[in-house]
């Protein structure tokens, strides 16, 4: 890095202030504090994802060492790229890989990453819109892709989305509705039913609707397909209540990583459990999904309802909200 090493920028820094107690502070950093990765980005927008909340509250399966700057998403312009791949001023998008996990992340005005993690901001999306979508939008789109590849069609019946008011959930609701699916949005926040209806949900159901299925080997077939962002027991309750030949795109663990299962839905109804990863996906595949989000799957009107701008100063407060499962939609961190 040959830019002035003394250049100052603002960043969120998570510190372990006592054993197991983590604080999130807005601090000044210098370019010399960043890792020696070739691509230096002036971040204009970042966003908050559940994983950032886990990192901000000391989850060591996400971030091994503190102090640390979280932020798994960033968009911004190139300050310099020592790899020669990108020219200064180009607007680039970075989501996932190690960004914000053990590499200082996007909750900072400058970040330094390997060039191969970045892709040009797709035409048709503004920098802000790309972060209104962010990893959550990419993941929701991958879930929808997975269902379509498995043969999902609107006439099959309802598609359940769990954790529907969350980042991935709300974008999945909007995308599926845009593609003509009847979406059953399952949420712990019935007070947000109008929001979900505006995104295009066909019906809004309380999270507790699924709870009685826990005592059964199988439940009545209620949905053709599903996107599960919640994991834990919810995931298998969803599997049990899918109709013959259906499948669930499983991407999340907001309620937990473990679930108890039996084989009956798989061997008696041919249900498919479709895993979705948006983090380590090759950058070319990410780019192809971003092209869909910028083109045929563009949901700009819904993003106005889903995403709210916050400042870098406000990021700690909103990370705490996500950590408690109290977030609604998406939070765009505006550093433009």
Tokens representing 218 are: 């199988």
29, 146, 182, 189: residue in contact with ligand NDP (rule CB under 6 A) = 189
Q: Does 46 bind ligand NDP (CB under 6 A)?
A: no
Helices assigned H by DSSP within 150-299: 167-178, 193-199, 232-240, 264-269, 283-294
Q: Which stretch binds ligand NDP (CB under 6 A): 82-90, 109-117, 215-223, 227-235?
A: 227-235
Q: Which residue has the tokens 């890792």?
A: 35
CB 229 within 8 A of CB 175: no
Q: Does 252 bind ligand NDP (CB under 6 A)?
A: yes
Q: Does 136 bind ligand NDP (CB under 6 A)?
A: yes
Q: Does 139 bind ligand NDP (CB under 6 A)?
A: yes
Shorter beta-carbon distance to ligand NDP: residue 37 or 234: 234
Q: Does 327 bind ligand NDP (CB under 6 A)?
A: yes
According to DSSP, the β-strands at 159-162 and 223-228 are parallel
Q: Does 47 bind ligand NDP (CB under 6 A)?
A: no
Q: Does 188 bind ligand NDP (CB under 6 A)?
A: yes
Residues 224 and 241: their CA atoms lie apart, in Å, by 9
**How near is the Cβ of 325 to ligand NDP at its closest, in Å?**
3
Number of residues interacting with ligand NDP: please give it, by CB under 6 A: 32
130, 187, 241, 272: residue in contact with ligand NDP (rule CB under 6 A) = 187
Q: Does 310 bind ligand NDP (CB under 6 A)?
A: no
Helix (H) or strand (E) holding 136: helix 127-149
Tell me how far apart the terminal alpha carbons of the chain are, to the nearest angstrom.
Answer: 23
Q: Does 141 bind ligand NDP (CB under 6 A)?
A: no
The sign of the torsion formed by the CA atoms of 230, 236, 242, 245 equals positive
DSSP 3-state assignment of 288? helix
Shorter beta-carbon distance to ligand NDP: residue 40 or 193: 193
Residue closest to ligand NDP (Cβ): 166
According to DSSP, the β-strands at 307-310 and 242-250 are unpaired
Residues 261 and 218: their CA atoms lie apart, in Å, by 10
Q: Does 248 bind ligand NDP (CB under 6 A)?
A: no
44, 103, 111, 165: residue in contact with ligand NDP (rule CB under 6 A) = 165
Tokens representing 252 are: 């999340």
Q: Does 279 bind ligand NDP (CB under 6 A)?
A: yes
Q: Which stretch binds ligand NDP (CB under 6 A): 10-18, 55-63, 83-91, 186-194?
A: 186-194
105, 163, 200, 246: residue in contact with ligand NDP (rule CB under 6 A) = 163
- Taking the CA of residue 92 as centre, how many other CA atoms within 13 Å lie in the half-sphere pointing to its CB? 30
């Amino acid at each position: 890095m040959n830019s002035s090493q003394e250049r100052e920028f603002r960043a969120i820094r998570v510190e372990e202030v006592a054993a197991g107690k983590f604080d999130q502070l807005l601090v000044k950093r210098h370019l010399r504090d960043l890792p020696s990765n070739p691509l230096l980005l002036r971040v204009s927008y970042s966003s908050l994802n559940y994983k950032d909340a886990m990192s901000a509250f000391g989850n060591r399966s996400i971030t091994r060492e503190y102090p640390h700057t979280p932020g798994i998403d960033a968009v911004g312009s190139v300050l310099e790229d020592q790899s020669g791949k990108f020219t200064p001023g180009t607007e680039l998008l970075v989501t996932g890989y190690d960004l914000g996990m053990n590499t200082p992340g996007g909750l900072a005005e400058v970040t330094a990453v390997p060039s191969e993690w970045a892709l040009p901001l797709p035409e048709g999306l503004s920098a802000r819109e790309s972060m209104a979508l962010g990893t959550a939008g990419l993941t929701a789109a991958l879930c929808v892709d997975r269902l379509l590849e498995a043969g999902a069609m609107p006439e099959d019946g309802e598609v359940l989305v769990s954790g529907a008011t969350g980042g991935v959930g709300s974008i999945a609701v909007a995308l599926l509705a845009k593609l003509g699916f009847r979406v059953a949005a399952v949420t712990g926040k019935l007070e947000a039913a109008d929001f979900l209806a505006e995104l295009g949900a066909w019906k809004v159901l309380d999270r507790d609707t699924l709870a009685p299925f826990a005592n059964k080997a199988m439940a009545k077939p209620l949905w053709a397909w599903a996107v599960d962002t919640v994991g834990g027991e919810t995931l298998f309750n969803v599997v049990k209540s899918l109709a013959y030949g259906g499948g669930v795109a499983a991407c999340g663990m907001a309620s937990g990583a473990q679930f108890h299962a039996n084989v009956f839905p798989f061997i008696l109804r041919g249900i498919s459990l479709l895993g979705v990863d948006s983090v380590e996906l090759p950058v070319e595949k990410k780019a192809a999904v971003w092209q869909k989000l910028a083109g045929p799957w563009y949901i700009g009107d819904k993003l106005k309802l889903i995403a709210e701008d916050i400042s870098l100063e406000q990021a700690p407060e909103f990370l705490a909200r996500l950590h408690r499962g109290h977030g609604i939609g998406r939070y765009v961190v505006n550093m433009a």
